[in-house]
Amino acid sequence: MSLQDIRARVDRAAAAAGRPPASVTLVAVSKVQPADRVRAVLETGHRTFGENRVQEADGKWPAFRAEFGVVELHLLGPLQSNKLGRALELFDVIHSLDRDKLAQRLADAVQARGRCPTLFAQVNTGREPQKAGLDPEAIDAFVAACRTRYHLPLFGLMAIPPADEDPAPHFEALRAMAERNGLPGLSMGMSADFETAIAHGATHVRVGSALFGTRD
């Protein structure tokens, strides 16, 4: 499916929810995609992409940025503390802040460099043991700690609902958590469910396979 097709679906979903299309950021998830597919999307003018791993992004995006100019890069996967320095050089947005130790190290690194990426805290809404993210009951305290202890300006929350469940209740739960904590950002919704996510208030949708095709 073309970028134009995906963008049209995003716009229609936003309109159906009574929202302006510009209120939804489409993150093209380029992880594990061949360079020619990524280049084809760049050539359409799209400049917002997501990657899961710092190492993969480091091998791909410096060259693309040198060729195409400014690209807003989003880290969607777990952030390891030992990759933090390079992550802050590569990424403009981090969607996977999920523990106090990482928040403290991030706060120290941000203070040293004088600039902070846009930050989302990841919530494990399905309490799945194999997934990263804070348990839902821990999110309020973590948001408070980011504000008062770590002085990190959280923008929003991110979640990946269980693959075998209806995503709508998870999206609604994430929205409620964000609202009660005064957070405007909601990173939720992927290729199979981004329209549902937009109906529940998503500000950032992460679309990979529907845009690029099945990964090799």
CATH of the domain at 165: 3.20.20.10
Q: Which amino acid is at 130?
A: Q
pLDDT band at residue 149, thresholds of 50, 70 and 90?
Answer: very high
Across the chain, what does the average pLDDT equal? 96
The pLDDT tens digits of the residues spanning 30-65 come to 999 999 999 999 999 999 999 999 999 999 999 999
Q: What share of the chain is helix, strand, coil (3-state, %, to 5)?
A: 45, 20, 35
Token duo for residue 151:
């002085």
Buried b (16+ CB within 10 A) or exposed e, 88-119: bebbebbbbbbbeebbebbbeebeeeeebbbb
Of 202, 133, 135, the closest CA to residue 167 belongs to 202
Of 179, 188, 174, 165, the closest CA to residue 95 belongs to 188
Strand, helix or coil for residue 26: strand
The domain total for the chain is: 1
- Segment 135-156 mean pLDDT: 97
Question: Residue 1: is its pLDDT beyond 80?
Answer: no
Token duo for residue 10:
């995003």
Q: What percentage of the chain reaches a pLDDT higher than 90?
A: 94
Q: What's the DSSP call for residue 82?
A: G
Q: Which amino acid is at 125?
A: T
Q: What is the pLDDT of residue 215?
A: 66
Angle at 180 between CA 178 and CA 182, to 5 degrees: 65
Q: What is the pLDDT of residue 200?
A: 98
Q: What's the DSSP call for residue 22?
A: G
| Domain extent for 203 | 3-212
Q: What is the pLDDT of residue 216?
A: 59
What is the distance between the alpha carbons of residues 202 and 195, in angstroms, rounded to a whole number? 9
User: What phi and psi values does residue 77 have, to the nearest 5 degrees?
Assistant: -90, 175
